[in-house]
Amino acid sequence: KSATKSAASEGPGFGGVFAVAGLLAIAYLLRRQG
């Protein structure tokens, strides 16, 4: 289970973090326009 932590800090997990950040940014922009 510690492998997931190392993987997230190395790079593969970064893609997921970036995707989540993108979704949050899109939701924020949509809420601003609405």
C-alpha distances in Å from residue 11, one per residue of 8, 14, 27, 31 = 6, 5, 25, 30
Q: Give residue for tokens 């995707």.
A: 19
The two three-digit tokens of residue 30, written as one number: 């949509």
The two three-digit tokens of residue 1, written as one number: 């289970």
Task: Parse the chain into domains and list their residue ranges.
Answer: 2-33
CA nearest to 9, candidates 25, 17, 26: 17
Tell me which amino acid residue 1 is: K
Q: What is the pTM of this model?
A: 0.52
pLDDT at 7: 52
pLDDT at 34: 75
**For 18-33, how does the pLDDT look when each residue is reduced to its tens digit (9 = 90+)?**
999 999 999 999 999 9
Q: Is the predicted pLDDT of residue 8 greater than 70, yes or no? A: no
Note whether 8 and 14 are within 8 A (CB): yes
